[in-house]
A and B are shown apart, each in its own frame.
Chain A
Amino acid sequence: MVPIEIRDVSLIYDTPGGKVPGVKDVTLNISASEFVCIVGPSGCGKSTLLNIVAGFLSPAAGEIRIGGKKVDGHGMDRGVVFQDFAQLFPWRTALGNVAFGLEMKGVPKDERERIAHEQLRLVKLEKFTASYPHHLSGGMQQRVAIARALAYNPAVLLMDEPFAALDALTRDDMQRLLADVWRETRKTVIYVTHNVSEAVYLADRVIVMTPHPGTVKAEIRIPLPRPRDPLSVEFLDFQKELLRHLGHGASASEPTKANGKTTA
């Protein structure tokens, strides 16, 4: 797997209400096979940053290197999972969705179906390979989306609040599942969330971002052994520390309500 270098990246949004800085001078080094979570309130630019790494947005300044190679547009070295359930193609079955990237790569049909089956087994959906997305629950759809992003074997996995629209129980299951998947695949992961406990559960390192403009405020290593126990004292200590960096000790799931109107 490969490291990610983010160097002095800035981006400004041109909105009808004037120029709004999205992210400003963000520098981050992520080592190979590291699981990094970016947390922060809405409007802090965490999704913007992810979209820049994904290549959907071009930074106004700075550059991003993945495995030493400069990012220019999107590429198959990165797999992306969005928050929106609608990301799956409704006209393809779960298997068809997962096989899509392999198809783009030109992998022969038998081979890509074999790999897609394997990926769906990894996310425990082997029984639903022939189902269309509208027949699957939200959690299942997001699992298909993860399998889809992993199927063509990208070195980096980029996830933008993939579980934010799920119920708490499903979310817990999904986090465990993702931790397993990560242990098995050892991808370099950037995971954006506003959920502090999710970040502590998943990450090797948590990046805290603050808005206006979006900048990195703190970096916290989470050296806890896996699988982690969300009720252990150390776990809760890390959560508290994160909340302190986010500016207050309010609820763990909704750290801040930002006044900003940008939706990054």
Chain B
Amino acid sequence: MTESGQHRRSLVRGTLALLVAAAAYEAMARSGYFAPALLPTLPAIGRTLFASLADGSMIEHAAFTLYRVMFGFALSVVVGLPLGILMARFQHVGNFFLPLVSALMPIPSFALVPLFMLWFGIGNLTTILIVFYAATFPMIFNTWSGVRSVNPIWLRAAGAMGASEHRLFWKVIIPGASPFIITGMRQAFLRAWIAVVGAEMIAASDWGLGWVIFDAKEFLNTDTMLASLIVIGITGFAFERFVFGSIERATVMRWGMMRAAKG
């Protein structure tokens, strides 16, 4: 089996799986067993989706959501990555932050939405802070385990070659921990994505995909709800596949630090 042949087969299988899932849904929607308002057909969802894309409203909502999620996610990387590394490298830092992280991590970000709404009002600030809160812990946690799993022989070798603490950090620990760090970013982004829509639903202003779903639910507009779900799903999928996928291919896979599943 050649590499490209294998790849094509993967694509075919994936597409097939999606088609079967879609057909099953459509059959259910048309069976008449469920109310059309609750289970709209795929063409109905498609029309709604197309209309909202054509008049630009959906794109604008998506832009707001993306702005909030990227801001919060970037913030979580800026905080979580160095903190995770420091915690793993210095026992005192670890001793201090580990109990805090383990205590804060199990608090759902949504549990803070009501509190943040009282503190920061409704709008971007609250949403971004909720996203930040949700994304930071996977970032910290994965970085921390990644740094602890850096092969000690690399540290020895680099030390023998005169690497300073600073160089050790950038040239050995970061790349050595990169499989975990990239996984951490992936998880952080997924969490951020989940948090942003939830926060938009609860602490809604007038923009954002979460708000659209919430608004649609009030009027039983299930087709609009599902159309926004599709937009949310595709955007998330695109990030997962193209952004993080290419980061992974350019780094850990190229270095042979992660192998592909075998058939």
Contacts and interface: CB of A to CB of B under 8 A. Distances in A.
Interface of A: 54-56, 74-76, 78-80, 82, 84, 86-92, 100-101, 103-105, 132-135, 148-149, 152
A116 to B, nearest CB: 12
Interface in B124-182: 151, 153-154, 156-164, 167, 171-172, 175-176, 178
10 contacts: A55-B160, A74-B159, A76-B162, A79-B160, A86-B154, A87-B156, A89-B172, A91-B257, A104-B158, A134-B255
Interface of B: 151, 153-154, 156-164, 167, 171-172, 175-176, 178, 251-252, 254-257
Contacts of A149: 160-161
A149 B159 CA distance: 12
A87 B154 contact: yes
Contacts of A134: 255-257
Contacts of B171: 100, 103
Contacts of B167: 103-104
A89 B171 CA distance: 10
B157 A91 contact: no
Contacts of A104: 158, 161-164, 167
Nearest to B160: A80
B160 A91 contact: no
Contacts of B255: 90-91, 132-134
A215 B164 CA distance: 34
A152 B161 CA distance: 8
A109 B251 CA distance: 22
A92 B163 CA distance: 15
Given A86-B151, A104-B162, 4 more contacts: A75-B162, A87-B156, A92-B175, A132-B254
A104 B169 CA distance: 12
Given A91-B255, A132-B255, A101 B153 contact: no
B162 A101 contact: yes
A82 B175 contact: no
Contacts of A135: 256
A84 to B, nearest CB: 5
- Interface centre among A80, A91, A133, by most B CB within 10 Å? A91
A55 B157 CA distance: 12
Nearest to B259: A134
A104 B166 CA distance: 10
A100 B161 contact: yes
B256 A89 contact: no
B53 to A, nearest CB: 41
A100 B158 contact: yes
B208 to A, nearest CB: 38
Contacts of A79: 160-161
Contacts of A100: 158, 161, 163, 171
B9 to A, nearest CB: 25
Contacts of A132: 254-256
A97 to B, nearest CB: 9
B196 to A, nearest CB: 32
A82 B254 contact: no
A91 B170 CA distance: 12
A82 B162 contact: no
A135 B164 CA distance: 29
A201 to B, nearest CB: 25
B163 A84 contact: no
A91 B171 CA distance: 10
Given A100-B161, A104-B167, A82 B256 contact: no
A264 to B, nearest CB: 15
Nearest to B154: A89
Contacts of A152: 161-162
A130 to B, nearest CB: 12
